[in-house]
Structure 1
Amino acid sequence: MASKKKPTFSAVSSRSGGSLTPWLGIAFIVILLDQISKITITRTFLHGEEKPITSFFNLVLAYNKGAAFSFLSDQGGWQRYLFAGIAIAAVGFIIYLLRKHAGQRMFCWALALIMGGALGNLVDRVAYGHVIDFLDFYWRGVGHFPAFNIADTAITIGAFLFIIDELRRVNKH
Structure 2
Amino acid sequence: MAAVAFVVDQLSKYLVIHVMELWRIRSVDVLPPVLNFRYGENRGINFGLFGDGSEASRWVLIGLAVVICAGVLIWARRTALPRMAQAGAGLLVGGALANVLDRLLYGYVLDFLNMSCCGFNNPFVFNLADVFIFAGAIALVFFAPDHKTTSKKGQ
- Return the alpha-carbon distance in structure 1 between the equivalents of residues 86 and 99 of structure 2: 20
CA distance in 1 between counterparts of 2:101 and 2:54 reads 20
Number of residue pairs aligned between Structure 1 and Structure 2: 145
Q: Distance in 1 between matches of 2:113 and 2:11?
A: 14
Cross-structure match for 2:91: 113
Report the alpha carbon displacement of residue 82 of structure 1 after superposing the two structures with TM.
0.9
Out of 144, 149, 154, the position equivalent to 2:122 is: 144
2:28 aligns with one of 51, 55, 60: 51
Cα distance, 1:164 vs. partner? 1.4
Shift of 1:104: 2.6
Report the TM-score, using the length of structure 2 for normalisation: 0.83
Structure 2 CA distance for partners of 1:48 and 1:83, relative to 1, 3 Å: farther
2:9 is the counterpart of 1:31: no
Instruction: Supply the RMSD in Å over aligned alpha carbons.
Output: 2.1
Note the C-alpha offset of 1:165: 1.7
Task: Give the TM-score normalised by structure 1.
Answer: 0.75
- Between structure 1 and structure 2, the one with the greater Rg is 1
Q: Cα deviations across residues 31-90 of structure 1 (Å, max 9, x unaligned)?
A: 111111111122121257111122222012211111111112234332111110011101
Amino acid at match of 1:50: S
Identify the range of structure 1 (146-155 vs 131-140) with the bigger mean alpha-carbon deviation: 131-140
Listed as ranges, the gaps of 5+ residues in structure 2 are 151-155
Identity among equivalent positions (%) equals 27
Residue 95 of structure 1 aligns with an amino acid whose one-letter code is: L
Residue of 57, 63, 73 corresponding to 1:95? 73
